[in-house]
Amino acid sequence: MKKNLLAFLLLAAVFVFATSAVADSYLADRHVQRGLKCAQCHTEKVPSKAPKMDMCLKCHGGSYEELAKATASKNPNPHYTHIGDKECAVCHKGHKAFEFICNDCHQFRGQKTP
């Protein structure tokens, strides 16, 4: 029984790893796959820097307070914290892996890493 469970977990882990390791799985790609244009995040003519939070918030709740309500059940809530309302892109990288900056100082676990 235990062995079967372990085998299942290993398989599941491999599966998750395989899907998240495909090259086009970064935040920007996932948005593009949903039909978004580069310009819906990037205001500059040729994209060159991280979009400001106002751009993200246009589609995600309108304000940090509203966004925080959506994740209020998380512990800790990543969108209402003692370090203040950070730019989204410090955690949600566009073309790189998600980076949970809280863990520079803590070791919170169990966050989905979108």
Partner 1 sequence: MDPEITRRGMMKALVVAAATGTVGSAATAAEAAQRVPATQVYDAIILGAGTAGLVAAVEAYDQGIKPVVLEKMDLPSGNTIYALGSLNACCTRMQKQAGIADSKDELFADMMKISAGQADPTLTRTYVEHIGDDVDWLQDTIGVTFLKLQKLPYPRLGRIHRVDGGSITGGGKLIRLLLAACKKRNIPILYNTKAVELITDKKMAVTGVRALTEDGLVEFMARGGVIIATGGFSANREMLCSYMGGATSRLALRGSPYLTGENISLTKPVFAKLVHLDQFHAGPIVSATHANPADALNSGYGIIVDVRGKRIIDEANTYVAKARALPSLTPENMAYQLVDSSWTAVRKMVDKFTHLNTRFYQDDTVEGLAKKAGLPVEAVVASVKGYNDAVKSGRLKDLNPPCTYKNPFAMDKSPFYAFPFEGGITATFGGPKINANAQVVTWEDRPIKGLYAAGNAAGGLFFSDYIGGSQLGAATVFGRIASRHIAKVCKKNKKV
- Our finding on whether 54 is near partner 1 (CB under 8 A) is no
Report how far residue 45's alpha carbon sits from residue 54's, in angstroms, rounded to the nearest whole number. Answer: 17
Q: Which is nearer to ligand HEC, 3 or 17 (CB)?
A: 17
- Our finding on whether 93 is near partner 1 (CB under 8 A) is no
Q: How far is the CB of 24 from ligand HEC (least distance, A)?
A: 11
- Choose which of 14, 16, 87, 101 interacts with partner 1 (CB under 8 A): 87
- Our finding on whether 80 is near partner 1 (CB under 8 A) is yes
Q: How deeply is 93 buried, as exposed, middle or buried, from its count of CB atoms within 10 A (0-12, 13-18, 19+)?
A: middle
CB 79 within 8 A of CB 90: no
